[in-house]
Chains A and B, each alone.
Chain A
Amino acid sequence: MRGLTKEYVIRRFLMFLLTIWLGATIIFIIPRLAPGDPVAAMISRMINQSGYIENSAQLIEAWRKKFGLDDPMYIQYLRYLWNMVRFDMGYSLSQFPQPVIATLRRGLPWTIGLLSVATILSFLFGNLIGALLGWRRTPKWLKRILPLSLSFTSIPFFMLGIILIYIFAFGLNWFPFSKGYSDSTPGLNLRFIVDVIYHGTLPAFAIVLTSMGGWALGMRGMMISIDSEDFLILAQAKGLPMRRIFTWYAVRNAVLPQFTALALSLGGIVGGSILVEYIFAYPGVGYQFYQAIVNLDYTVIQGIAFLLIMATSTAVLVIDLIYPLIDPRITYQKK
């Protein structure tokens, strides 16, 4: 591929592994710095729920052994790393004995489906609005109207979400209030897919409305800063059609830094969007994340954090590798 060398790809991949290892290690250390014993905390929560548990002291003992909390720290650490490599993140504490990975596996498709579509749509709309705002030849009336579309960015999401639910779900009854699907059985059939889209529209709309403003402002700034570039003047002198100058000379150059930001926000998707999923009771990772925090479910929190590290590093790795295709000035080949 253009601009890539084998050494660079290998070096970059090792860097990728190193990043994940560092992240995983930090997640390992931090909970162990906190005071308290997770097993004791779990048992006491069970006692709270059911009133009384026989032989709780022995139970704590047995579970500490089962979870390997009696082993020396380095053995725990090595076992933890080995488990992480196999995506074995242990058991959820609040939904014991369900494995964390099963919990995440349930939430991920919803989150990825909703957020990737919403992120890409807001990237497209936001950059288009920003490009038009920053382009000198944009019709005046359009320049007056477009900033209105950005005013949603300044409304806090929890307010906007509630307003949208009030108008479109409660008032107009166009969309459902919450949940990812209603009565249809999950599967690859048309009825279910339509159902999912029907449920996803309102949350996706809310995300696009609130986040496209950020893209638009960044893009507008870039468009203005390249506006006086000589190659734009030359393109005009060449008599090129305005549309071609706009797309291939202005936007094509202005949008470059936006791609890095896009990679980062796509990587961050797997963490879910807590506010969105909470307000719309969407069954994704963000909702699980919220519940894990409320229930002090450390293993799930750890699992989501690890997933975030994986996804962000992967997204950055991918953008690094395809950047020479987007911007020909970037090359990893030595001249």
Chain B
Amino acid sequence: MFDTETEGARIELRALTKHYPGQPAPAVDNVDLDIPAGELVVFVGPSGCGKTTTMKMINRLVEPTSGEIRIGGKDVLSLQPDELRRHIGYAIQQVGLFPHLTIGQNIGLVPKLLGWPAARIAARVEELLSLVNLEPSLFHDRYPRQLSGGQQQRVGVARALAADPPVMLMDEPFGATDPITREHLQKEFVRLQKRLRKTIIFVTHDFEEAIKLGDRIVVLRERSHIAQYDTPAEILARPADDYVAGFVGQDATLKRLALLRVEDVAPAGPPQQAGLPQVAAGTSLREALDVMIAHGSDRCSSPSGVLTYTALCGAVGTGRPSSPGREPEAVPSLPAPEKVVAGGR
């Protein structure tokens, strides 16, 4: 259907508007947005800001009042809606598994709609169950009501991936789980996306989740106006205005530390110095700082070198530890984001 069948496809929104009849103002007002192929872009904003409506216009569960949507260059509004939706993965917070079908049948549903032969569907279902860490022999013939909330969410993700769509829309897919399960699912999902490189629009009201998952974040205000569209590091370092800063919260610097890893900044030096607290190379700077504070030390040692408190502050551009505050320093270890169209109006 789209030019690229499985790898991500670019999504372009142009002057996209949804005005419900009888409402004084549009729910989504004139949104312009480009989502690069293979990136995970998080829509974050308060409830009622129109983020879900914006997302649902992309698979036309909500028909736009005006504007354009293109996926991989194709005009979405000219396609047959049911056929279009079979080529866009869709996962929602309530999961919405069909309780009368087995897990296998639930996952195989879209491939069946697409007319895949039974053998190919069966193989794909096995593959997907393994992919989301559910043992196929155990789960294939179970029913949704026999699964825990976290397991259901995994099946929901597997079902959205079933026909290997280039584009996925996810509306708080981990929202209904407890914090521990959610964090686990998020970590798994990040690993999965690194491999699959789908174009994903991920809607959440949880800014922490947006930072963890997003290649880029779109911060939305009411009527889906775009307050800022940038990488998590940039939004944390340079919030566009007070509204975005409010979303970022008070601990922006700590959040930025969480995005960086020890191996990204640890200066040259003898690795693994004895007598210092030890951290792994893949540890985040936030966790490394925690270790330093816990040991009352201003440095810790990792396989890639010794990390000092000064280097840690330098990494987030705060210079000397005696002058805290948000300084507009580039984050050295993250590549600068390519320019993307970000607007709204």
A is bound by B: no
